[in-house]
Structure 1
Amino acid sequence: MIRLDNISKQNGRQLLFIEASAALQRGEKIGLVGPNGAGKTTLFRMITGQEPPDEGLVLVDRGVTIGFFSQDVGEMSGRSAVAEVMDGAGDVSTVAAELRELESALADPDRADEMEALIERFGEVQARFEELGGYALDGRAREVLAGLSFSPEMMDGDVGALSGGWKMRVALARILLMRPDVMLLDEPSNHLDLESLIWLENFLRGYDGALLMTSHDREFMNRIVRKIIEIDGGALTSYSGDYGFYERQRALAEQQQQAQFERQQAMLAKEIAFIERFKARASHAAQVQSRVKKLDKIDRVEPPRRRQVTSFEFLPAPRSGDDVAKLRQVHKRYGSRVIYEGLDLLVRRRERCCVLGVNGAGKSTLLKLVTGSTEPDEGTVTLGGSVKLGYFAQHAMELLDGDRTVFQALEDDFPRAPQGSLRALAGCFGFTGDDVEKRCRVLSGGEKARLVMAKMLYDPPNFLVLDEPTNHLDIATKEMLIAALAQYEGTMLFVSHDRHFLAALSNRVLELTPEGLHDYDGGYTEYVARTGQEAPGLHA
């Protein structure tokens, strides 16, 4: 359906693709992976014709429809979310627009003399609309929006009043309703809660078109794709399997290449030592010449060229008391909406509590109450003795000073820390080389999240409260964070939609339901096994 034939592409001074080739066949579901800046979004833009390759061809079969979801959703306002989604439904939305125009023309007394032609055309368009399933379109659009966690009020309200994250869901819903021959999805799992993520996973598994997508959620990727295309060093390499298979194969290939490289280096060193030793002796001139020629002809093996993710090790956190946070008979409401009535909760030292609940159940509110960011209407919230709190909230990224560089932002928080130590910290969180000189205002969402996390974890608290800490983080940085937090000896209370993160770190599950708090001993994996659901109300 789509072929990339020896494409080359340069972005400024960076070579993104060098005579790279790949193909997307009918019905294939492919994950596109590679380090940040490798050219994943550029590849999508070349397939959709928004950017041409410098050399080579992008070939799309005649008549193939492509739906492209990207993080840049543009402006939306003046229409309901349902209308916005239906407008992107391909042919049927074009026919619907003509039907609306004809209805308006039929009601216009100034066009009475055209009535016969208008009625005839209206009949033709109406038949075509029916044939395309147009009358079911509103219901289908609402079904998709409901799957992405929209309430009926949000579906019918002005899309302009929605936050950026919800507008992204509208843009995603447009593509899903369109059901094109090929879907190109650039980070569709960003901004989705766990329920929406699982719904989208099931939708894409049942989609019979071809799919090419990026995602920072390895579990999501593993359940959908059956092939991986990796962008690295200008080349496109295909692996037949899910993300886990790709990781294993890539690690194996790296080991083999490293072993080849080391063997060749040893051989070269031996040959060069011989040449250096005997080059001045006439008796060995022929042998020396022979070996010099041999060295010139050898194809040099390059060492594996992989982005190294530095591991981050916590300094020991001070010990807290055994009771870390206590909520007694807490009541909380927003307007007429009751969030909690008489909530009791005790978080104990070294517990890692993950908080689950449907949208609006009060997950973020619980974290805000514990951190003192919001007050209960009734009841008490108290932190235990010697508790040193660290709170990662989504709005923390907005509080960074845009004029400061990454390094200055770290220095501002830790003025007495050695420069080398701060540079090592920045490197752990993906800021290497000149990246530390970037001003905060130009950082992407992922870079801001990494900087806030670095600031919080350098001098570690003994109670970490994390609200969606993995949003915007790429898979490699998430793995580093999971490895670091697995060694952390403090207490954690966190909300996340990343099932790999939940399973790796939790040892207690707090499920918020309309009936109250359900408390499960054991981590997320045990919760799924016990309840048969991966998220409240959704069976695995």
Structure 2
Amino acid sequence: MTLLSISELHKSFGDRPVLTGVSFQLRTGEKVGLIGPNGSGKTTLLRAIAGELPADSGEVRLSKQAGVGYLPQKPPVMGGETLRRHLERAQKPLRKLEIEISRLEREISSCPPAESTRLNRLLDRYGKISVQFQQQGGYELESRLQWVALGLGFSHSDLDRELSRFSGGEKTRAQLAALLLQAPDLLMLDEPTNYLDQQGLEWLERYLIDWPRSLIIVTHDRFFLDTVVGRILFLDRGSVKSYPGNYSSFYSLREQERLTQARAYTRQQKLIQKEEKLIREAKADERSKRQASSRQKRLQRITPLELPERKAGFRLDFNFRGRSGRRVIEFQGVTKRFGVRPLFENISFEVRWGDRVALIGPNGAGKT
């Protein structure tokens, strides 16, 4: 069943076209990765689907009553409520059922046995709501809230902190946690791994593998895409092309396409050059002029092929061309605190000439 249908979507900013006829469909329960060069319009497309940004033309159609959740790259503006309250609001439909169940229990307990008709009506409604509450995981509301919060790197004490005191990265993680608890029919995540440490990243991977609803992810983490998605949407030069499989499958298919396009372009260029040379060197007699005119018309009918863009390359030269001692950095018993809070204590290590070191650790461990 189709959950989302995009048809001929166009969007420009001033005289700069960003989306030029984007069309694709997304099935219920399908997980796709949306990738493309920086500035190709990935965030613009997500915002158009979420209804935050009107398109110039085209159509975005969602299944009737389908809910959409969108995590932007930039940290959201949040008020003074606590993290716990923020996450509980994401569970609002189930919280309302919980309140209704409690109300019905009070009415049932106070209903006189003589009022059998009213009692049966209350018991019938109580049974239906209880089944609905159980099927939607209502009896695990608190444990689920804590599981998601802790999985994304928050501590138990963070649940009672005010969001206004959170850093930008913490606010983004809080919004991600709320969306996971909200469980919309279509979840769209724009660079969700930016503010996650390795442990949080691995937790989110496992969570999204089991995610039963539709999912669109924008991320530069190809390993994350390999683990989570089953289709790639490649956005480039204003349009989208769909590739089956994960990122590795896409990369293989894309390389084959690039090679095929390059060969076709080279063949066409050789043909054009050959025909142009024959036209230039045509003799002055009538027969040669007719042949040159015929060749010129053939050239005009040729649709020029585009040369595939070369893959961007980046090279770092770590070779050192000066003088240096063998010991580049040395820490001896270094301690750092913020107020009364110790960040690290008595750290000792050294980095020697030629070492290549990775500095890793949980969020807030003090890497920066």
TM-score, normalization: structure 2? 0.83
Flag the structure with larger Rg.
2
Structure 2 counterpart SS, 1:357: coil
Q: How many residues align?
A: 346
- Per the alignment, residue 423 of structure 1 pairs with none
2:211 to 203, 207, 232: 207
Shift of 1:3: 1.4
In the alignment, residue 213 of structure 2 is paired with which amino acid? G
2:159 to 142, 155, 162: 155
Is 1:186 the counterpart of 2:187 in the alignment? no
Cα distance between partner residues in 1 of 2:20 and 2:367? 47
In the alignment, residue 20 of structure 1 is paired with which amino acid? V
- Per the alignment, residue 106 of structure 2 pairs with none
- Per the alignment, residue 304 of structure 1 pairs with 308
- Per the alignment, residue 33 of structure 2 pairs with 31
Structure 2: runs of 5 or more not aligned: 104-121
In the alignment, residue 292 of structure 1 is paired with which amino acid? Q
- Per the alignment, residue 229 of structure 1 pairs with 233
Cα distance between partner residues in 2 of 1:153 and 1:317? 51
- Per the alignment, residue 10 of structure 1 pairs with 12
In the alignment, residue 209 of structure 2 is paired with which amino acid? R
Task: Please list, as runs of the form range in 1=range in 2, the aligned pairs for 1:425-436 lying within 5 A after superposition.
Answer: none
- Per the alignment, residue 45 of structure 1 pairs with 47
In the alignment, residue 219 of structure 1 is paired with which amino acid? F
Shift of 1:33: 0.7
8 Å CA contact retained: 1:89, 1:175: no
In structure 2, the CA distance between the partners of 1:87 and 1:280, relative to structure 1 (3 Å rule), is farther
Is 1:196 the counterpart of 2:200 in the alignment? yes
Shift of 1:30: 0.9
Cα distance between partner residues in 1 of 2:67 and 2:299? 53
Structure 1 counterpart SS, 2:179: helix
Give a deviation string over 1:297-343, Cα, whole Å, max 9, x none. 22221111457445454674534222222333445555555555544
- Per the alignment, residue 79 of structure 1 pairs with 81
Shift of 1:45: 1.7
Give a deviation string over 1:450-505, Cα, whole Å, max 9, x none. xxxxxxxxxxxxxxxxxxxxxxxxxxxxxxxxxxxxxxxxxxxxxxxxxxxxxxxx
| Percent of residue pairs bearing the same amino acid type | 34
- Greater Cα offset, 184-193 or 329-338: 329-338
Cα distance between partner residues in 2 of 1:94 and 1:16? 42
Cα distance between partner residues in 1 of 2:95 and 2:37? 38
Give a deviation string over 1:144-202, Cα, whole Å, max 9, x none. 11111111121111111111110011111111111222211111011111111111111
8 Å CA contact retained: 2:196, 2:363: no
Shift of 1:127: 4.8
Give a deviation string over 1:52-80, Cα, whole Å, max 9, x none. 43333222122322211112443212211
Shift of 1:248: 2.6
In structure 2, the CA distance between the partners of 1:274 and 1:196, relative to structure 1 (3 Å rule), is same
Cα distance between partner residues in 1 of 2:365 and 2:314? 37
8 Å CA contact retained: 2:232, 2:244: yes
- Per the alignment, residue 217 of structure 1 pairs with 221
2:293 to 275, 289, 295: 289
Is 1:140 the counterpart of 2:154 in the alignment? no
Structure 1: runs of 5 or more not aligned: 103-119, 365-540
Structure 1 counterpart SS, 2:154: coil
- Per the alignment, residue 90 of structure 2 pairs with 88
- Per the alignment, residue 58 of structure 1 pairs with 60
Structure 1 counterpart SS, 2:359: strand
In structure 2, the CA distance between the partners of 1:14 and 1:164, relative to structure 1 (3 Å rule), is same
Cα distance between partner residues in 2 of 1:10 and 1:328? 56
In the alignment, residue 177 of structure 2 is paired with which amino acid? A
- Per the alignment, residue 264 of structure 2 pairs with 260
Shift of 1:214: 0.5
In the alignment, residue 3 of structure 1 is paired with which amino acid? S
Task: Please list, as runs of the form range in 1=range in 2, the aligned pairs for 1:325-404 lying within 5 A after superposition.
Answer: 325-335=329-339, 337-364=341-368
Structure 2 counterpart SS, 1:197: helix
In the alignment, residue 85 of structure 2 is paired with which amino acid? A
- Per the alignment, residue 116 of structure 2 pairs with none
In structure 2, the CA distance between the partners of 1:141 and 1:306, relative to structure 1 (3 Å rule), is farther
Give a deviation string over 1:196-234, Cα, whole Å, max 9, x none. 111111111111111111012222222212211001112
8 Å CA contact retained: 1:189, 1:216: no
- Per the alignment, residue 476 of structure 1 pairs with none
Structure 1 counterpart SS, 2:281: helix
- Greater Cα offset, 260-269 or 355-364: 355-364
In the alignment, residue 94 of structure 2 is paired with which amino acid? V
8 Å CA contact retained: 2:97, 2:133: no
In structure 2, the CA distance between the partners of 1:16 and 1:358, relative to structure 1 (3 Å rule), is closer
8 Å CA contact retained: 1:3, 1:23: yes
Cα distance between partner residues in 2 of 1:145 and 1:24? 29
Cα distance between partner residues in 2 of 1:273 and 1:10? 42
Cα distance between partner residues in 1 of 2:240 and 2:75? 27
Structure 2 counterpart SS, 1:353: coil
- Per the alignment, residue 471 of structure 1 pairs with none
In structure 2, the CA distance between the partners of 1:267 and 1:94, relative to structure 1 (3 Å rule), is farther
Structure 2 counterpart SS, 1:274: helix
Cα distance between partner residues in 1 of 2:166 and 2:6? 37
8 Å CA contact retained: 1:81, 1:159: yes
Larger relative contact order, structure 1 or 2 (CA cutoff 8 Å, min sep 6):
2
Cα distance between partner residues in 2 of 1:190 and 1:347? 28
Structure 2 counterpart SS, 1:352: coil
Give a deviation string over 1:248-300, Cα, whole Å, max 9, x none. 32222112211211111111011011112216432312212221221122222
Structure 1 counterpart SS, 2:245: coil
8 Å CA contact retained: 2:4, 2:27: yes
